[in-house]
Amino acid sequence: MSEIVVITGASAGIGRACVREFAKRQCKIGLIARGEDGLEGARREVEALGGEAIVLPTDVSDSDAVERAASAVEERFGPIDVWVNDAFTNVFAEFLDIEPDEYRRVTEVTYLGFVWGTRAALRRMLPRNRGRIVQVASAVTYRSIPLQAAYSGSKAAIRGFTDAIRCELHHHDSKVRICSVNMPAVNTPQFSWNRAKVSRKPQPVPPIYQPEVAARAVYYAAHHRRREVTVGSSSLVAITANKFIPGLLDRYLGATGYDSQQYDGGLEPGRPDNLYAPVPGDHGAHGDFDSRSKSESLELTLTTLPRFVGLAAAFGLFVVAKALQR
């Protein structure tokens, strides 16, 4: 029986890659985002891969709109099995260069969008006592970076919110599960269309991973009982180091975080952004960094193949023991 899935931010980037990952399993997918061009492109891909899709143009900062979208999915396909929260927006700028309305907008989409999506999912999943919610988080959930104060703050808020929900689910002994996926830098179109007030073009902090890596992690998280999944060595290092040397990281990122998030020349005049309205067109999953992006994550491979890792470790110990006996 086909799974019924909802993906926010489904028109582009990680969300679009997740659409493809679920569609390969012939899932029935509710596609939520603002950009209708990208949503229609995603729908065509789902159908080409053997799945079914419903296009739901929705601004996730509007709780009533998210609720209506959830109802439309269940009216069309039936009970939702998996809900993936991914939609976000951002402003690349120093904090004092971000206007209050801009900061509020990033927070409403990137944080409250996850809250409203989680609420819509739980209102349906809890009475049935089943379902999975996946929060597409980030390494900045734990380790904030300069030029992304609004985004970093929203991602950290998602972690606090999600932890509280987990406690409540445990209190009720619920079988509904919620998992966060801590993403590294990913090659998505966001760097071409998020609002920017910096001197050069924005880029993800290397190393950069392809969106398909992120999508595989989301699919894994939706089907395994994990509290969190971390993707990429950079995410693992950042999260771990922040537990022990946060002050040193403050200084390091203050010294390197501006240059590492910019490249090439100045911003194009009249560059469009998607802070308040979607950028027209179907932009797909990939950004401008294909030549510099990794298609695999060792950390994700080790996470998703625990039996293989155990056997490999056992074999390694056996080889070492034999060598010591000689």
Average pLDDT score over residue span 306-322: 56
CA distance 9 to 16: 7
Q: Does the structure show a pLDDT above 60 at 99?
A: yes
Q: Which of 103, 111, 142, 151 is catalytic?
A: 151
Assess if residue 141 is contained within a domain.
yes
- What pLDDT, on the 0 to 100 scale, is given for residue 305? 72
Contacts of 142 (CB under 8 A, 6+ apart): 156, 159, 182, 238, 239, 242
The two three-digit tokens of residue 1, written as one number: 């029986």
Give the Cα separation of 271 and 256 in Å (integer): 25
Whole-number pLDDT of residue 319: 58
For tokens 């080889």, the residue is 319
Asked whether residue 78 is domain-assigned, the answer is: yes
Task: Assess whether pLDDT exceeds 80 at residue 312.
Answer: no
CA pair distance 200, 262, nearest whole angstrom: 6
Report the range of poorest mean pLDDT among 193-197, 231-235, 306-310: 306-310
Residue 326 and residue 321: Cα distance in Å, rounded?
9
Q: What is the mean pLDDT of residues 163-192?
A: 98
- Sorting pLDDT into bands at 50, 70 and 90, what band is 64? very high
Indicate the pLDDT class of residue 306, thresholds 50, 70 and 90: low
The structure tokens listed for 195 are 């609002």
Q: Please say if 151 is a catalytic residue.
A: yes
H/E stretch holding 220 reads: helix 211-223
Is 307 contained in some domain?
no
3-class DSSP state of 188: coil
Residue 304 above 90 pLDDT? no
State residue 265's pLDDT score: 87
Percent residues over pLDDT 70 in the chain = 94
Which helix (H) or strand (E) covers residue 41, if one does? helix 36-48
> What whole-number distance in Å separates Cα of residue 8 and Cα of residue 31?
7
Output the average pLDDT for the chain: 94
Please give the pLDDT value at position 300.
Answer: 85
The pLDDT, as a whole number, for residue 285 is 98
Q: Is residue 313 part of a domain?
A: no
pLDDT at 112 over 90: yes
| Structural domains in the chain (count) | 1
> Looking at residue 195, which CATH number applies to its domain?
3.40.50.720
Asked if the model's pLDDT at residue 51 lies above 60, the reply is yes
pTM of the model: 0.93
Reply yes or no on whether the pLDDT at 320 is more than 70. no
Distance in angstroms (rounded) separating the CA atoms of residues 166 and 121: 14
- Comparing C-alpha atoms, which of 181, 166, 89, 170 is closest to residue 135? 181
Q: Give the Å distances, CA to CA, from 220 to 84, 179, 225, 235.
A: 12, 10, 9, 17
Q: Are 28 and 3 in contact (CB under 8 A)?
A: yes
- pLDDT tens sequence across 253-297: 999 999 999 999 899 888 999 999 999 999 999 999 999 999 998
pLDDT class of 308 with cuts at 50, 70, 90? low
pLDDT in tens, 84-98: 999 999 999 999 999
Please report whether residue 155 resides in a domain. Answer: yes
Residue 157 binned pLDDT confidence (cut-offs 50, 70, 90): very high
In a domain, 257, yes or no: yes
* Count, residues in the chain: 326
Residue 304 lies in a domain: no
- Domain membership of residue 310 (yes or no) is no
Q: What range defines the domain where residue 221 resides? A: 4-295
